[in-house]
Amino acid sequence: MGSTVTTANSEGKIWGGGNEPMGINYGKMMMWFFIVSDALTFSGFLAAYGFSRYKFIETWPLADEVFNHFPFMHGVDAPMYYVALMTFILIFSSVTMVLAVDAGHQMKKQKVAIYMFLTIIGGGIFLGSQAWEWKNFIKGEYGAVETKGGSILQFVDATTGKRVKLSDVAIPLHEEREQLTRNKGFWFSKESTLPTYSVNEVVEGFKANPNILVRTEAIYHPSMAKNVGVHPELNKSTHKHKTILTREESLKRLADVHYVVEGANLVRNEYGQKLFANFFFFITGFHGFHVFTGVLINVLIFLNVVLGTYEKRRSYEMVEKVGLYWHFVDLVWVFVFTFFYLV
């Protein structure tokens, strides 16, 4: 049998449970475990997004065209401006959280309360901005039509190549329309709401207006210049854009249309590839839930600060713990902003 020998010199070096290993308490350690596990979840989302985008790179929507709205600036093309502002606000809230933690180390209750309040305001503004962005994304601005093969066709001005709204294309036919439900059509298909315009109204309006062309969801490449049906002039732009078709080819493509698409959801997407909308909802929604949770926790911590709870404990460690979570949420958004919006 083996025996264990403990000397006087080694006995003092063995941890006996009386102090905290690595100088960290249980609460902080559990927060770090949560952050690491949650980071893996977000990494999985972004990795799946990257693989999907690579597979459908030729038809992937252009973020500059999708996220080009700015509050109180209707009709102004502002690609990514508001998303960049949202990112700045969230990063600034991370700075105020750092200041709150530092003030807590110095036992300055009033400063902790002020910086925590600013952090909450920043998180609230970000959440409101994200809700506004979701509203615009779901509602859509221009609309499109979907072919029987699932491809998205958009409309552009034949002179400038700029997008044209369905309202500027369709003409009223005063036809009787019936909403598709599972008891009135295919058992596997139904419409939540009727589109504003019918397929016939859009197609007939297009035929009546020679100044409108069709744009496909495929990103134009110079090698496509000699392809039949590709517009020879409007595709000469040097910036990345979708492929614009000639008038004749546009009419051919519209013959295969079977659905009018307005906005985006988990089933249809007027901006192009359906997976783009799915990833947008899941990634930004999952992150938004984290921000919402963080704001709620920050409010609770703020109230405790105001009530003097941590002043009585002579420790603002809870502010530091929630600060770790808030910094993680901010860091995740930096990656989302970079890989989903910018790249």
pLDDT tens readout for residues 127-179: 999 999 999 999 999 999 999 999 999 999 999 999 999 999 999 887 766 66
Cβ–Cβ < 8 Å for 143, 165: yes
Query: Which of the 8 DSSP states describes residue 180?
Result: -
Residue 23 carries which side chain, given as an amino acid letter? G
**Other CB atoms within 10 A of residue 138 CB:** 14
The tokens describing 160, both together, are: 């400038």
- The pLDDT of residue 20: 57
Average pLDDT over the chain, rounded to an integer: 89
Look at 188 and 194; give whichever has higher pLDDT.
194
CA torsion angle 334 335 340 343 (round to 10) = 90
Question: Which one-letter DSSP state was computed for residue 337?
Answer: I
Which tokens go with 154? Answer: 């958009």
Q: State residue 183's pLDDT score.
A: 62
Q: Do residues 123 and 298 touch, judged by C-beta distance below 8 A?
A: yes
**133: how many CB neighbours lie within 10 A of its CB?**
19
> Is the model's pLDDT at 184 over the cut of 80?
no
Q: Is the pLDDT of residue 63 over 80?
A: yes
In the chain, the DSSP E strands lie at 144-147, 152-157, 212-219, 242-244, 257-261
pLDDT digits (tens, 9 = 90+) for 305-337: 999 999 999 999 999 999 999 999 999 999 999
Q: What is the pTM (predicted TM-score) of this model?
A: 0.86
Side chain identity at residue 58, one-letter code: E
- Output the pLDDT for position 21: 56
Query: At 325, phi and psi to the nearest 5?
Result: -65, -45
Say how far apart CA 299 and CA 257 lie, in whole Å.
51
pLDDT for residue 23:
65
Structure tokens at 167: 């309202």
32: left (phi over 0), alpha (psi -120 to 50) or beta: alpha
Confidence of residue 6 (pLDDT cuts 50, 70, 90): very low
Pairing of strands 242-244, 212-219: antiparallel
The proportion of the chain whose per-residue pLDDT surpasses 70, expressed as a percent, equals 88
Token pair recorded at residue 334: 């930096």
Please give the Cα distance from 34 to 26 (Å, whole number).
Answer: 12
Q: At what angle do helices 109-139 and 285-307 cross, to 10 degrees?
A: 160
Looking up tokens 């420790």 gives 315
Spatial separation of the C-alpha atoms in residues 157 and 298, rounded to whole Å = 49
- Residue-wise pLDDT tens digits, 269-306: 999 999 999 999 999 999 999 999 999 999 999 999 99
CA atoms within 13 A on the CB side of 10: 4
Domains of the chain: 24-140+276-342 (1.20.120.80), 148-261 (no CATH)
Place of tokens 């083996």: 2
